[in-house]
Chain A
């Protein structure tokens, strides 16, 4: 019993940092509507800046002073990031900004590597709080008790700020209608910068406060972001008490998970989140998001048309070049092209649901990796012939998408995105922790194609036919009645329902089709590489696909394919540099700022301006 209680206290202590980081994310999302992927980076910066400051400042005053200062320093950095990177793109289409924040992650990662080096830092102990107190005979670190005691004050301070001060009233008003707040004389640019800085400072405080318990390392950013999203979503977007309850829930559960179910620690919080969202779709204390409440930003999408003669000729020419490639290119270029084709199909499958359906999935890697694993498992454990195992990839991914989709489709917007993220993490943790089946991070190896397909040139043609075929099928569906119904459900769900369209059913079928195509890409991938590892199911993989869809242009049919080609090529050339993340991050940020409609969309606008064409219908 005493041990049980001590465990509980550890969980509560862990919740302090998590709550701080989560409340920051919630605050930023509420006001700016930006899903800030880089929030974990500010948490990591907080830890590193905190360590450095604590080395300079001595004693207890120095320790706590360093923590306070950390928030101010990181808040300042965040303010600069907001002004330089985000301010120019608030008017871009919704969620486009998350691409920029992804660029920020990469930049901060490499800057941290440059400044603090690759080695993990141990956090200093808090002066005067080094030992333990015994509670019911169990040792509990003094620092934990202090953290537990502090948390309610932090919650109260934030709650007071939001509900009782003018700043809080303005923040809540801006959450609802930021343009109107501006029209009433409030400088919303500074309000946004301020909120972004405050939210990031909260993350940094979280990073600094956990130093005596955890330390600082370069993986902190991605390690916490999953948990933070989970907390915000379980608590309900924009609800501080909700975030608090969820942070406690997740932290306590985690401590007990480590003790009693060590093989399931990664899955646990995502399972909890999935259960909460299924019962309460908008989180414990969240309220329903009304679509369109915040006003449509960006120009409306133009009607779609199949390519005209010129477009067809360009595509045909491109295909001919690709078909002729083995005659001129070396093996290295062929393999690179195979990678690009696989990624293009993967991105096109996400673009299909995101562009036409408005379904922003944060977990699309589940179907890519899921397809790859499905085929690999068959080959690895049962020696299934490659042809059969390969067919199983899209099939299994499609079924997985049907299952996951059935849960997720009930939600929309950010909640939908989060639930897909949760399910993909679930799939990932199964691959990672069910070592008996998947060999964990040792991966499944020796998954080679059938003899008749072995050889780079043959496999290249195999890839070319399937990837291009898949992309063309997706395009065809977009122009079919089904694709129109999908767009109808995105443009105006209530009109669609009022004309007899079962929007959820259409979306579910589309989700499954996207799963099949992602699984197909995964199937091609696993036999091209001969192996598969849990990295193919990671959040980073899902984000990759998201990034290229937005980079290419959501509102253009070719966006996913073009974005994938662009990113794969750039990444390929950059990875030979030492600080390639920094450069890639800057490239992404530059593209986002210079081409707010994505590469294809912006080129099209440019073309229209050059030729002076004023066509109301685009291709």
Chain B
């Protein structure tokens, strides 16, 4: 498999505090890879550096072999990286389909068009994307009345508009009910399989991670302490100590 994303020795420090300390890894084409770790381990900082929201203190990021370190989010998006946010960032003053149309307007480079009516543009195409995430019935509702899980799916549709080769998803299932989590990750897995997209995601729900991720990386205090298959990570004593815990408290109860 070819490498889509390669990260070399990525580092970020804020006045004396080192948030990410020399992280290196890669994501291959068609791979669904999870990045897990305790809160404050540097997952979001890592993500924000990959997507250009934050400038790394040191290290390099390569997309398809070309360097994207320090580029602006919109430049990285142009190169084929889509992202969804931990706290959804949809446009509250637009309808569901207009959110997707907005992404398509940007995709077709029509942002500085003054003549057309925006809500007439690319409506059919937008509807296709809504169908992918099963939101077609809510197309004309205002985004502000959508349930949280639907917003997450809408973000996924938006991220797909530019036909990305890599999707970065920051806690895609946070705040969702267990069943909805599984449905969303199943949808993501389908997209990975059908469209050959690669996905890198952070997650706290271990059921989701172990059920769907092809590979798992564990970040702790800004450094990677594991990178491997589900079984390797689960049985890694260091990972158990800092992150997974013994699980005794709940297991006893669950099997009682």
Task: List chain A positions with a Cβ less than 8 A from chain B.
Answer: 300-306, 476-477, 479-485, 487-488, 490-492, 494-495, 497-502, 506, 509, 616-617
In the bound assembly, the distance between CA atoms of A616 and B142 in angstroms comes to 7
Find out whether the CB atom of A500 lies under 8 angstroms from the CB atom of B78: yes
Q: Across the two chains, which residue of chain A brings its CB closest to B107?
A: A500
Find out whether the CB atom of B93 lies under 8 angstroms from the CB atom of A491: yes
A300-B92, A492-B91, A501-B106 known; A477 vs B78 contact (CB < 8 Å): no
Find out whether the CB atom of B106 lies under 8 angstroms from the CB atom of A482: no
Find out whether the CB atom of A497 lies under 8 angstroms from the CB atom of B72: yes
A494-B85, A495-B85 known; A484 vs B102 contact (CB < 8 Å): yes
Let me know if B39 is at the binding interface, CB within 8 A: no
Find out whether the CB atom of B115 lies under 8 angstroms from the CB atom of A301: no
In the bound assembly, the distance between CA atoms of A488 and B110 in angstroms comes to 14
Let me know if B193 is at the binding interface, CB within 8 A: no
Query: 17 more A-B contacts (CB under 8 A) besides A300-B144, A303-B93, A494-B85?
Result: A300-B142, A305-B119, A480-B116, A481-B111, A484-B98, A485-B112, A488-B91, A490-B93, A491-B90, A491-B94, A492-B91, A495-B85, A495-B90, A498-B51, A499-B102, A499-B161, A617-B140
Find out whether the CB atom of B118 lies under 8 angstroms from the CB atom of A501: no
Specify which chain B residues have a CB less than 8 angstroms from the CB of A302 in the assembled complex.
Answer: 93, 142, 144
Contact with A along B62-84 (1 / 0, CB 8 A): 00000000001110011000110
In the bound assembly, the distance between CA atoms of A511 and B53 in angstroms comes to 25
Find out whether the CB atom of B77 lies under 8 angstroms from the CB atom of A498: yes
In the bound assembly, the distance between CA atoms of A301 and B98 in angstroms comes to 14
Specify which chain B residues have a CB less than 8 angstroms from the CB of A488 in the assembled complex.
Answer: 91, 94, 102
Find out whether the CB atom of B93 lies under 8 angstroms from the CB atom of A300: yes
Per CB-CB distance, the 3 closest pairs between chain A and chain B, nearest first, are A495-B89, A300-B144, A492-B89
A480-B118, A483-B118, A484-B118 known; A509 vs B112 contact (CB < 8 Å): yes
A-B pair count, CB < 8 Å, reads 124
Find out whether the CB atom of A616 lies under 8 angstroms from the CB atom of B106: no
Let me know if B141 is at the binding interface, CB within 8 A: yes
In the bound assembly, the distance between CA atoms of A303 and B110 in angstroms comes to 20
In the bound assembly, the distance between CA atoms of A617 and B139 in angstroms comes to 12
In the bound assembly, the distance between CA atoms of A501 and B158 in angstroms comes to 13
Specify which chain A residues have a CB less than 8 angstroms from the CB of B82 in the assembled complex.
Answer: 498
Q: Give the distance to chain A from B224, nearest Cβ to Cβ, in Å.
A: 25
Find out whether the CB atom of B162 lies under 8 angstroms from the CB atom of A617: no
Find out whether the CB atom of A497 lies under 8 angstroms from the CB atom of B145: no
Other-chain residue from B74, B105, B141 in contact with A616 (beta carbon distance below 8 A): B141
A494-B53, A500-B162 known; A481 vs B91 contact (CB < 8 Å): no
In the bound assembly, the distance between CA atoms of A501 and B110 in angstroms comes to 10
A506-B111, A509-B112 known; A484 vs B73 contact (CB < 8 Å): no
A499-B103, A617-B95 known; A482 vs B114 contact (CB < 8 Å): yes
Find out whether the CB atom of B73 lies under 8 angstroms from the CB atom of A480: no
In the bound assembly, the distance between CA atoms of A492 and B144 in angstroms comes to 13
Contact with A along B94-129 (1 / 0, CB 8 A): 110010011101110011111111110100000000
Q: Give the distance to chain B from A130, nearest Cβ to Cβ, in Å.
A: 51
In the bound assembly, the distance between CA atoms of A491 and B94 in angstroms comes to 9
Find out whether the CB atom of B106 lies under 8 angstroms from the CB atom of A500: yes
Find out whether the CB atom of A491 lies under 8 angstroms from the CB atom of B91: yes
Specify which chain A residues have a CB less than 8 angstroms from the CB of B101 in the assembled complex.
Answer: 484
In the bound assembly, the distance between CA atoms of A303 and B247 in angstroms comes to 47
A-B contacts, 14 of them at CB < 8 A, read A301-B92, A304-B93, A480-B116, A482-B112, A484-B94, A484-B101, A484-B102, A492-B91, A498-B74, A498-B77, A498-B82, A499-B74, A499-B158, A500-B107
- Taking chain A's interface residues, is the majority helix, strand, or loop, or is none over half, making it mixed? helix
Other-chain residue from A301, A306, A502 in contact with B93 (beta carbon distance below 8 A): A301
Specify which chain B residues have a CB less than 8 angstroms from the CB of A483 in the assembled complex.
Answer: 118
Specify which chain A residues have a CB less than 8 angstroms from the CB of B114 in the assembled complex.
Answer: 476-477, 480-482
Other-chain residue from A303, A498, A502, A509 in contact with B94 (beta carbon distance below 8 A): A303
Specify which chain B residues have a CB less than 8 angstroms from the CB of A306 in the assembled complex.
Answer: 117
Q: How many residues on B have C-beta within 8 angstroms of the other chain's C-beta atoms?
A: 45
Specify which chain B residues have a CB less than 8 angstroms from the CB of A491 in the assembled complex.
Answer: 90-94
Specify which chain B residues have a CB less than 8 angstroms from the CB of A616 in the assembled complex.
Answer: 141-142, 145
Specify which chain B residues have a CB less than 8 angstroms from the CB of A300 in the assembled complex.
Answer: 92-93, 142, 144
Q: Across the two chains, which residue of chain B brings its CB closest to A486?
A: B111
Specify which chain B residues have a CB less than 8 angstroms from the CB of A492 in the assembled complex.
Answer: 89-92
Specify which chain B residues have a CB less than 8 angstroms from the CB of A480 in the assembled complex.
Answer: 113-118
In the bound assembly, the distance between CA atoms of A498 and B83 in angstroms comes to 7
Specify which chain A residues have a CB less than 8 angstroms from the CB of B155 in the assembled complex.
Answer: 495
Q: Give the distance to chain A from B151, nearest Cβ to Cβ, in Å.
A: 11
Find out whether the CB atom of A481 lies under 8 angstroms from the CB atom of B116: yes
Find out whether the CB atom of A479 lies under 8 angstroms from the CB atom of B106: no
In the bound assembly, the distance between CA atoms of A498 and B121 in angstroms comes to 20
Specify which chain B residues have a CB less than 8 angstroms from the CB of A476 in the assembled complex.
Answer: 114
A300-B92, A501-B74 known; A479 vs B117 contact (CB < 8 Å): yes
In the bound assembly, the distance between CA atoms of A616 and B140 in angstroms comes to 9
A479-B117, A497-B74 known; A303 vs B102 contact (CB < 8 Å): no
Specify which chain A residues have a CB less than 8 angstroms from the CB of B145 in the assembled complex.
Answer: 616
In the bound assembly, the distance between CA atoms of A304 and B119 in angstroms comes to 10
Specify which chain B residues have a CB less than 8 angstroms from the CB of A494 in the assembled complex.
Answer: 53, 73, 85, 89
Q: Give the distance to chain A from B52, nearest Cβ to Cβ, in Å.
A: 8
Q: Give the distance to chain B from A333, nearest Cβ to Cβ, in Å.
A: 36
Find out whether the CB atom of B93 lies under 8 angstroms from the CB atom of A487: yes
In the bound assembly, the distance between CA atoms of A502 and B112 in angstroms comes to 10
Q: Across the two chains, which residue of chain B brings its CB closest to A497?
A: B73
Q: Across the two chains, which residue of chain B brings its CB closest to A299?
A: B144
Specify which chain A residues have a CB less than 8 angstroms from the CB of B117 in the assembled complex.
Answer: 306, 479-480
In the bound assembly, the distance between CA atoms of A506 and B29 in angstroms comes to 34
Q: Across the two chains, which residue of chain B brings its CB closest to A492?
A: B89
In the bound assembly, the distance between CA atoms of A301 and B142 in angstroms comes to 9
Q: Give the distance to chain A from B147, nearest Cβ to Cβ, in Å.
A: 14
In the bound assembly, the distance between CA atoms of A189 and B118 in angstroms comes to 44
Q: Across the two chains, which residue of chain A brings its CB closest to B101?
A: A484
In the bound assembly, the distance between CA atoms of A424 and B184 in angstroms comes to 51
In the bound assembly, the distance between CA atoms of A502 and B111 in angstroms comes to 9
Q: Across the two chains, which residue of chain B brings its CB closest to A296?
A: B92
Q: Give the distance to chain B from A67, nearest Cβ to Cβ, in Å.
A: 42
Q: Give the distance to chain B from A288, nearest Cβ to Cβ, in Å.
A: 12
A303-B95, A303-B142 known; A481 vs B89 contact (CB < 8 Å): no
In the bound assembly, the distance between CA atoms of A237 and B65 in angstroms comes to 45
In the bound assembly, the distance between CA atoms of A470 and B85 in angstroms comes to 39
Q: Give the distance to chain B from A229, nearest Cβ to Cβ, in Å.
A: 29
A497-B74, A498-B74 known; A487 vs B94 contact (CB < 8 Å): yes
In the bound assembly, the distance between CA atoms of A301 and B119 in angstroms comes to 17
Specify which chain B residues have a CB less than 8 angstroms from the CB of A490 in the assembled complex.
Answer: 93
Q: Across the two chains, which residue of chain B brings its CB closest to A304?
A: B93
Q: Across the two chains, which residue of chain A brings its CB closest to B87?
A: A292
Find out whether the CB atom of A487 lies under 8 angstroms from the CB atom of B91: yes
In the bound assembly, the distance between CA atoms of A480 and B95 in angstroms comes to 15
Task: Give residues 160-197 of B contacting A (CB, 8 Å).
Answer: 161-162
Specify which chain A residues have a CB less than 8 angstroms from the CB of B111 in the assembled complex.
Answer: 481-482, 485, 500-502, 506
Other-chain residue from B72, B83, B92, B105 in contact with A485 (beta carbon distance below 8 A): B105
Find out whether the CB atom of B74 lies under 8 angstroms from the CB atom of A617: no
Q: Across the two chains, which residue of chain A brings its CB closest to B120?
A: A479
Q: Give the distance to chain B from A477, nearest Cβ to Cβ, in Å.
A: 6
Q: Give the distance to chain A from B126, nearest Cβ to Cβ, in Å.
A: 13
Specify which chain A residues have a CB less than 8 angstroms from the CB of B102 in the assembled complex.
Answer: 484-485, 488, 499
Q: Across the two chains, which residue of chain A brings its CB closest to B113?
A: A481
In the bound assembly, the distance between CA atoms of A499 and B51 in angstroms comes to 11
- Most chain A CB within a 10 A radius of its CB, from B92, B113, B143: B92
Q: Across the two chains, which residue of chain A brings its CB closest to B161?
A: A499
In the bound assembly, the distance between CA atoms of A476 and B106 in angstroms comes to 19
Q: Give the distance to chain A from B34, nearest Cβ to Cβ, in Å.
A: 21
Q: Give the distance to chain B from A448, nearest Cβ to Cβ, in Å.
A: 34
Q: Across the two chains, which residue of chain A brings its CB closest to B109?
A: A500
Specify which chain B residues have a CB less than 8 angstroms from the CB of A481 in the assembled complex.
Answer: 105, 110-114, 116, 118, 121
